[in-house]
Amino acid sequence: MGYLFFSTVVFILLLIFTALFLTRPYWLPYTPFLSFRRSLYTPIPTTFHSDAEAGLSSATFDLSGNITSEDDRAGLDDASKAEVQKIMKKKKVTFDEARRMYVEERFKKNGIGTDGRPRDPKFVSFS
């Protein structure tokens, strides 16, 4: 008898949670105490103008020329922007410093030294 009661309760709860999950776009805006999840998401800018507004521009990496010429390209690379923004938030550094850290990390992953030369011991350069 206990098994029948337990399985009925579990089935009813499963139906309720499924209905809540499927209808969450309708009731979620009315629950401000659950809005902490939305604050963790930062949309990635998609144009040069929004890149500049998001702080992805500086004196050494100036996007104003792209903005004034009304460049219709999509802006900076989305994956790189997300990574640079993550570094800026995590380490609380400026855009230039975060960009430098990102480039050095990419160099390290690809076997390139901080001076720009390959780290391959078999590398031969004629200069």
Q: What is the pLDDT of residue 12?
A: 95
Rama region for 124: left / alpha / beta (φ>0; ψ in -120 to 50; rest): beta
Q: State the residue range of the domain holding 25.
A: 1-30
Q: What does the pLDDT look like over 27-82, one tens digit per residue?
A: 877 776 665 555 555 665 566 666 676 777 776 676 666 666 666 666 567 788 88
CA atoms within 13 A on the CB side of 32: 0
Q: What is the pLDDT of residue 11?
A: 94
Is residue 124 in a domain?
no
Alpha-carbon dihedral of residues 5, 9, 11, 17, nearest 10 degrees? 180
For residues 46 and 16, membership in a common domain is answered with: no
Partnered with residue 112 across adjacent β-strands are 118
Is residue 121 in a domain?
no
Number of domains in the chain: 2
Is residue 87 in a domain?
yes
For residues 17 and 45, membership in a common domain is answered with: no
For residues 18 and 45, membership in a common domain is answered with: no
For residues 90 and 111, membership in a common domain is answered with: yes
Is residue 16 in a domain?
yes
Give the Cα separation of 107 and 86 in Å (integer).
18
Q: What does the pLDDT average to over 8-31? A: 88
Helix (H), strand (E) at residue 50: helix 48-53
